[in-house]
Amino acid sequence: MYSVILATYTYLITHFSDFQLACIGSFLLHESVYFLSGLPFLYFERGGWLAKYKIQKKKNTVEAQEKCISRLLLYHFFVNLPVMVFSYPVFRLMGLRSSLPLPSWKVVCTQIFFYFIIEDFIFYWGHRVLHTKWLYKHVHSVHHEYATPFGLNSEYAHPAEILFLGFATIAGPAITGPHLITLWLWMVVRVLETVEAHCGYHFPWSISNFLPLYGGADFHDYHHRLLYTKSGNYSSTFVYMDWIFGTDKGYRKLKAITEDDEIDAKQYNSVSTVVASQDGSEAKASW
C-alpha cells in the first residue's frame, strides 16, 4: 500500500506545481469525496431504502434536494475555491510542504489527532455563537432550512458561516504546517465525518456505536430537529464539549426516555419537542 501511495504521489509532484496540488488538487479531492459520500444518502431517502435505519421518517422533497445541490456548487466554486487559492501563501508561510519524503504514519496520526482537538474546541464555540438570535436569523438559519438532514446538507450554509466555521477546520493545519499528504488526509476524514453526521441514518455499524464520545448522525440529527434556542448538541466530531458545558442535557434526557420505552417515530419527534421545551429557558439563559 505504501509503495502505491508513494508512486502515485511521486507522479503528482513531478507533473504538477505545488500551487496546483495545494489549491486545485485539494479542491478536486474535496469535491470527489464530498459528493461520492453524500449522494448515496440522497437516493436512499428518495427511494425509501434502508428506511428502518432512518432517524426521522420525514423526507425532503426532490425540489429541496436539488436546491441544496445547486447552492452547494455555487458556494464551492465561488467561496471554497477562492479561499483555497488566497490562503495558499499563508499555508506556505506556516510550513506547508509537498516534497519527499512522505511523513511517517506516526507523525500523520499525531497531527490529525491534534487537528480534531483544535477543530472541536473552535467549532463548538463558533457554533454556539451562531445560535444567538441575530446570527441565527441572518446567517445560521440557512443551514437549518433542512430539519431533516441528508448528507449533502452538511456543507449547505451561508457564505459567512462557511468562512467563519471553516476556520475551525484549517486552524490546526495552519499551526503545524503539515505535509500536503497530511492535509489531504485530514480533509478526507473531516468531510466523511461531517457527511456521516448529517446523513440522517443511524446504522448498527455507525461509528458512534463503537467509538466513545463520537457524536455521529443520531447526536447531530437532534440538533437539526429543534428550534435555535433549544437545540444544544453544538459539537463537531466528539461530544465532550457539550458534556462539559451541559448543552447536551436535552439530548441525553431524550435518549434515557427512548431507551426505557419503545416508541415509534411520530412519538419520538413529539417527545423531542417536549424535552426541548423543558430545557428552553435554560438554553436562553446561557446567552
Check residue 269 and give its pLDDT.
52
Per residue in 244-254, is it b (16+ CB within 10 Å) or e — as a string? Answer: eeebbbbbbbb
- Summarised one tens digit per residue, pLDDT across range 193-203 is 999 999 999 99
- 127-141, 204-218, 261-275: least confidently modelled range: 261-275
- Summarised one tens digit per residue, pLDDT across range 244-274 is 999 999 899 888 887 655 544 455 555 555 5
pLDDT band at 226 (very low <50, low <70, confident <90, very high): confident
Does residue 112 have a pLDDT over 70? yes
Q: Give the CA distances from residue 68 to residues 73, 141, 158, 181, 258, in Å, rounded to whole numbers and listed in that order.
A: 9, 14, 12, 30, 32
To which H or E segment does residue 123 belong? helix 105-130
Q: Return the percent helix, strand and coil in the chain, to nearest 5.
A: 75, 0, 25
Q: What is the DSSP string of 237-257?
A: SB-HHHHHHTTTHHHHHHHHH
Check residue 283 and give its pLDDT.
38
Share of the chain above pLDDT 90, in %: 81
* Four-CA torsion 110, 116, 121, 125, nearest 10 degrees: 160
CA–CA–CA angle 43, 210, 225 (5° rounding): 50
- 161-165, 230-234, 246-250, 270-274: least confidently modelled range: 270-274
- Locate 205 and state its grid cell: 455499524
Check residue 285 and give its pLDDT.
31
For the chain, domain boundaries: 2-285
Q: What is the DSSP string of 79-96?
A: IIHHHHHHHHHHHHHTT-
pLDDT band at 186 (very low <50, low <70, confident <90, very high): very high
Q: What is the mean pLDDT of residues 176-194?
A: 97
Could you tell me which residue, 28 or 261, shows the higher pLDDT? Answer: 28
Q: What is the mean pLDDT of residues 44-50?
A: 93
- 37-46, 69-78, 207-216, 222-231: least confidently modelled range: 222-231
Q: Kindly tell me the sign of the dihedral angle through the C-alpha atoms of 231, 126, 77, 186.
A: negative
pLDDT band at 241 (very low <50, low <70, confident <90, very high): very high
Check residue 235 and give its pLDDT.
96
Check residue 199 and give its pLDDT.
97
CA distance 116 to 113: 5
Amino acid at 238: F
Check residue 259 and give its pLDDT.
65
Does residue 284 have a pLDDT over 80? no
Does residue 276 have a pLDDT over 60? no
Q: Kindly tell me the sign of the dihedral angle through the C-alpha atoms of 99, 101, 102, 106.
A: negative
Residue 205 · residue 194 · CB < 8 Å: no
Check residue 209 and give its pLDDT.
95
- Locate 214 and state its grid cell: 463520537
Does residue 236 have a pLDDT over 50? yes
Check residue 228 and give its pLDDT.
67
- Summarised one tens digit per residue, pLDDT across range 85-105 is 999 998 999 899 999 999 999
pLDDT band at 278 (very low <50, low <70, confident <90, very high): low
Residue from 123, 160, 155, 157 nearest 142 by CA = 157
Q: What are phi and psi of 79, to 5 degrees?
A: -125, -60
